[in-house]
Amino acid sequence: MTGIWTRCNNCRRILYKQDILDNLFICPECNFHFRLSAIDRLNMLFDLGQYELIDQDIFPEDPLGFKDTKSYAVRLKENIKKTGLSDAVLNAVGTMDGIRIIMSAMEFAFMGGSMGSVVGEKITRAFERALEENIPAVVISSSGGARMQEGILSLMQLMKTSSAIANLDKGGIPYISVLTDPTTGGVTASYAMLGDINIAEPNSLIGFAGPRVIEQTIKEKLPKGFQRSEFLLHHGMLDDVVERRNLRSYIIRVLRLFLNKPRTE
C-alpha cells in the first residue's frame, strides 16, 4: 500500500496516513501502536523534540568474517544505507521537563535491533556517562536479541551492559527501562529487564525465547496474549503498561519521584 493511505496491522482498517502521524503512530480506530524508529522516539520524548546525539562515530565491524546467505559485511552496508544509522541504537542527551537525562533508543529496522559490539558499547557508554554526569538514564528497547553474526562478542555485551548498570546502583543513578514491540532475547536478558522501573507500551512482544521457538519445542499452541506487555505485567515483570501518549509524562513523573524533585509551579 503506497501513497497517503495505509492499513492498520491489527484491525486491518484502511487509514489516512496523516491521521496516524498526528496520533503518535497509534491507530485511531483500535489503539494499535505502530513500531517507531529511534529518531521518532527521541523526537517524541525530549523537550521540544530537541537533543544532542552523541557517540555517533562508532561503526560495526565483521570480526568473525561471518557469512550466511549473505555476508555480514554486506548486510551491515545495506542496513547503514537503509536506516542512515551506524548501528541499531542512538544515544542522545537533552532534557525532559527541564531534567537533564541521557537516552538510548534502539532501532528495530537495523538488523532487527540486534545487539552486537556497537550496541553494547553505546549502551554501556550511556550508562557510564549517566554516572559521570550524575544524570538519569532512559533506554527505549526494541530488539530481536543478540546479533548472531558477532557470535560470542554479542553474548558478552549482555554482561558488559549489565555490569555498567551495577555501577548505577552504587552511584544512586535512576535508570528507566522502556520495552517496546518487540523486545526479546539478549536485550531482555540484560539491560531491558534491569531498570529501576521496567515499563512497556501496550501489547508489545516481550520475552527471552521467541514464541516460534517455544511453539516448536513444546509442540503446542501458545495461549493468547502470551509474552505480551499485559501478560508480563500480570506475572510481575513490569511496573506498568503505559500508552504511548502518556509515556513522556509518565517518565517525567517517575524521574521527579526518584530525584526527589516535586514539580514547582
Partner 1 sequence: MKEIKDFYQLEKDIAALKAEIDKIQESDDQDKRKKIEDLRAKIKDEWTQIGANLSPVHIVQIARHPKRPYTLDYLESLTTDFTELHGDRRAGDDPALIAGFGFYHGRTAAFIGHQKGRTTRQRLARNFGQPNPEGYRKALRVMKLAEKFGFPVITLIDTPGANPGIQAEEKGQAEAIAYNLKEIAKLRVPVINVVIGEGGSGGALAIGVGDAILMLEHSFYSVISTEGCAAILWKDQSAVDLAAENLRFLSKDLMEFGVVDTVIPEPPGGAHVDYELTYKNVDKYLHTTLKKLEKKTPEERIQERYQKFRKIGVFTEK
The residues binding partner 1 (CB under 8 A) are 57-61, 63-69, 116-118, 120-121, 124, 146-148, 150-160, 162-163, 165-167, 169-170, 185-186, 188-194, 207-209, 213-214, 217-218, 222-223, 226-227, 235-237
> Would you give the binding string for Zn ion spanning residues 32-71, x where CB under 5 A is met?
x---------------------------------------
Residue 200 near residue 241 (C-beta atoms within 8 A): yes
Helix (H, G, I), strand (E, B) or coil at 100: strand
- Taking CB within 5 to 8 Å according to partner kind, which of Zn ion, partner 1, none is near residue 102? none
Residue 146 near residue 117 (C-beta atoms within 8 A): no
Rounded CA separation 56/90 (Å): 8
- Taking CB within 5 to 8 Å according to partner kind, which of partner 1, Zn ion, none is near residue 143? none
Closest contact distance (angstroms) between CB of 153 and partner 1 is: 6
Rounded CA separation 251/204 (Å): 18
- Taking CB within 5 to 8 Å according to partner kind, which of Zn ion, partner 1, none is near residue 237? partner 1
Among 6, 10, 167, 203, which residue interacts with Zn ion (rule: CB under 5 A)?
10
Q: Which stretch binds Zn ion (CB under 5 A): 23-31, 40-48, 56-64, 229-237?
A: 23-31
- Taking CB within 5 to 8 Å according to partner kind, which of partner 1, Zn ion, none is near residue 208? partner 1
List all residues 6 or more positions away from 122 whose beta carbon is below 8 Å from its beta carbon. 55, 58, 87, 89, 91, 104
- For 143, list phi and psi in degrees, rounded to 5: -160, 145
Helix (H, G, I), strand (E, B) or coil at 205: strand
How many of the other CB atoms lie within 10 Å of CB of 253? 13
* Site size with Zn ion, rule: CB under 5 A: 7
Q: Which residues bind Zn ion (CB under 5 A)?
A: 8, 10-11, 27, 29-30, 32
